[in-house]
Chains A and B, each alone.
Chain A
């Protein structure tokens, strides 16, 4: 019985192919849009989550206020960065602080053999790698003794390794020139990917802070650092650490009550959370917009089913006259709506997935095609079929056989 009805639905759809196709198209576009938007949205969420976890956890970042922005005595006096290594050591003594890494960075030309590459050089202490949970894939990191003696050693990121050494040469132990000074490559850093701003974190070189201060950066950084990363030992402790760092530095920098600080403290975790929140909202919004087209597709189905019921009133009368019950007629039309929406949905899924792969290919943006999102699209489409097919189907089933037969 059911297979006979399915056959009838198929038959009826085949009888008016163009109309069936156009009705389906609404569904195809709706489902395709939902699948595509969910893939793009989830992709964005995924890459944000990636950059957040690549940042390191429970981090504060203390930045020297650039001149003119802090408005304090120190920056007004014309000197550059306000943070010092002593500040960083003092912060390390605070409660709930599990790691501190002072650093300064600057871009520099790097040369190996005939290859040269412009990258960002970070001068920092060995704790930097811990704070950022950054591992080496090869070689080893420099140590505190390298800091003390300001040795010319370097850790290079994946992008730098690729551009200077290509795939065939092992960088470990090779000598590269950073701003003309020779440095020995000690290790190669693990891949980090993009940060939240979309910058390639693997395009970097890490050298001992002291070496950088003396050999690479200008005189303004001979005793100061551009920023200090502070890691709290738990997410809960983070706000307290933030307060403590603030008051400690204001005290150390002798900033009077009421004046602006000559530094900023940023809670990276909070920033990351809000970035995650933003992308989540964005993907929800994308999904919502796409759902509207699904709704429109559903209304299209309802519209066509209504026309179809009216057109086939006589047929319904004939069927009733030879023994079709109300529920048989209901099922017939409902099945037709469901078959249209499910076939439309399947095509839509194929197109949505294809579109997502195309977006990924063209823009390199991450897309995530999850079974969940496909199941959801499928479920929604089937419900749309039932929901919008039900009213016309019931209308058909409620027809009076005599009146239906008499309909011209």
Chain B
């Protein structure tokens, strides 16, 4: 089995006015290809901080982060941008869509930075919007659709470059339970297609969709249990 993520002895301190503020301490984690991991833990335990590092949005203070065989902890800003663009899909709690652009352009946006031509950008975005059940809304604006639909758009955007890794920080945090369930179903389908998924959540029933549950407490991993085997791609 190939490791998609290897994290070794990772520390993260925030520099604040009061001095160094350690958030992540000695974090060790390996995630295999095709795994579906839920990260849990109380508020302030460092889950988002960890996810941001996994997503190459932030850098660790020390320690190793090997993504897909590459030492991303040592990459420069342009290379990190490329990793974010092509290897990782990130889904946020707050959707983070561009409110001025329509759904098609929102989903196609990462391809602009990949350097893909307009026709192909739009063709692929349309295809993904259909996949998440929003094929009829390509011309709508984000504020014209529901929160659950917005999160589907964000997922479509995260998937557009066929990432190896899908990261989601409380993707259902702003959604009601029924909509949350639909989103988790979508995640389950994606995982069965072979995408490695890491999802942060507070809710046990959400975490239950994952194959493995990792619990953070005060910046350390305190529990790591597998509830399902890693799914084989169909």
Which residues of A does B touch, CB under 8 Å? 1, 3-5, 11-12, 15, 314-315, 317-328, 401-402, 405
A319/B77 in contact, CB under 8 A: no
**Does B118 reach chain A (CB closer than 8 Å)?**
yes
Can you pick out 7 interface pairs between chain A and chain B where the beta carbons lie within 8 Å of each other? A5-B112, A314-B96, A318-B98, A319-B113, A324-B81, A324-B85, A324-B113
CA distance A15 to B99 in the complex (A): 11
Tell me whether A322 and B98 are in contact in the complex, defined as CB-CB below 8 angstroms, given that A328-B113, A402-B52 are known contacts.
Answer: no
If A322-B90, A405-B57 touch, does A15 touch B96 (CB 8 Å cutoff)?
Answer: no
A404 nearest CB neighbor, chain B only: B57
B41 at the interface (CB under 8 A from A): no
**Sorted from nearest, which 8 A-B pairs have the closest CB atoms?**
A323-B85, A325-B81, A323-B113, A322-B110, A4-B112, A318-B96, A401-B57, A323-B84
B58 interface residue, CB < 8 Å from A? yes
Most interface-central of A12, A318, A320, A326 (chain B CB within 10 A)? A318
- A156 vs chain B, min Cβ distance (A): 73
- B86 interface residue per 8 A CB criterion: yes
Cα-based distance from A327 to B76 in the complex (angstroms) = 13
Across-interface contacts of A315 in B (CB, < 8 A): 98
Which listed residue (A1, A5, A322) contacts B85, Cβ 8 A? A322
B114 an interface residue at 8 Å Cβ cutoff? yes
Q: Closest residue of chain A to B110, judged by CB? A: A322
B78 touches A326 (CB 8 A): yes
- B115 part of interface (Cβ distance < 8 Å): yes
B78 with A325: CB separation less than 8 A? yes
A82 to B92, CA, bound (A): 100
**What chain B residues lie within 8 Å of A405 (beta carbons)?**
57, 92, 96
Q: Give the distance to chain A from B123, nearest Cβ to Cβ, in Å.
A: 15
Q: In whole angstroms, what is the CA distance A268 to B86 when docked?
A: 78
Identity of the chain B residue whose Cβ is nearest the Cβ of A8 in the assembled complex: B112
Which residue of B55, B58, B85, B118 is within 8 Å of A4 (Cβ)?
Answer: B118
Q: How far is the CB of A318 from chain B (nearest CB, A)?
A: 5
Assembled-state Cα–Cα distance A401/B78 (Å):
12
> Smallest Cβ distance from A51 to chain B, in angstroms?
59
Which B146-205 residues have a C-beta within 8 angstroms of A? 157-158, 161
A-chain residues with CB within 8 Å of residue B101 when the two chains form the complex:
11
Q: Closest Cβ of chain A: how far from B164's Cβ, in Å? A: 14
Cβ of A402: which chain B residues have Cβ within 8 Å of it?
Answer: 52, 57-58
CB distance from B160 to the nearest CB of A (A): 9
Q: Which of B46-89 contact A (CB under 8 A)?
A: 52, 55, 57-58, 77-78, 81-82, 84-86
**Structural contact, B100 and A15, CB atoms closer than 8 A:** yes
Hey, what's the 0/1 contact readout for B90-107 against A, CB within 8 Å counting as 1?
A: 101000111011000000
The answer to whether B86 and A323 have CB atoms under 8 Å apart is yes
Q: Is B6 an interface residue (CB 8 A)?
A: no
Q: Does B7 contact A (CB under 8 A)?
A: no
Query: What is the CB-to-nearest-CB distance from B68 to chain A, in angstroms, rounded to a whole number?
Result: 16
- Specify the chain B residue showing the minimal Cβ separation from A398: B77
Alpha-carbon separation in the docked complex, A315 to B112 (Å): 15
Q: How far is the CA of A182 from the CA of B56 in the complex (A)?
A: 103
**B55 to A: closest C-beta gap in Å:** 7
Query: Which residues on the B side are within 8 Å of A318 (C-beta)?
Result: 96-98
On chain A, the residues within 8 Å of B90 by CB distance are 321-322
- Assembled-state Cα–Cα distance A374/B8 (Å): 63
Assembled-state Cα–Cα distance A4/B90 (Å)? 23
Interfacial chain A residues near B55, Cβ < 8 Å: 321
Give bound CA distance, A321 to B57, whole Å. 7
User: Nearest Cβ distance between residue A319 and chain B, in whole angstroms?
Assistant: 7
A322 adjacent to B57 (CB under 8 Å)? no
Question: A11 CA to B98 CA in the complex, in Å?
Answer: 12
The distance from the CB of A267 to the nearest CB of chain B, in whole angstroms, is 69
- Known A-B contacts: A315-B98, A323-B81, A323-B85. Give 13 more (CB < 8 A): A4-B112, A15-B100, A314-B96, A320-B81, A320-B84, A321-B57, A321-B90, A323-B86, A324-B81, A325-B77, A326-B77, A401-B58, A405-B96
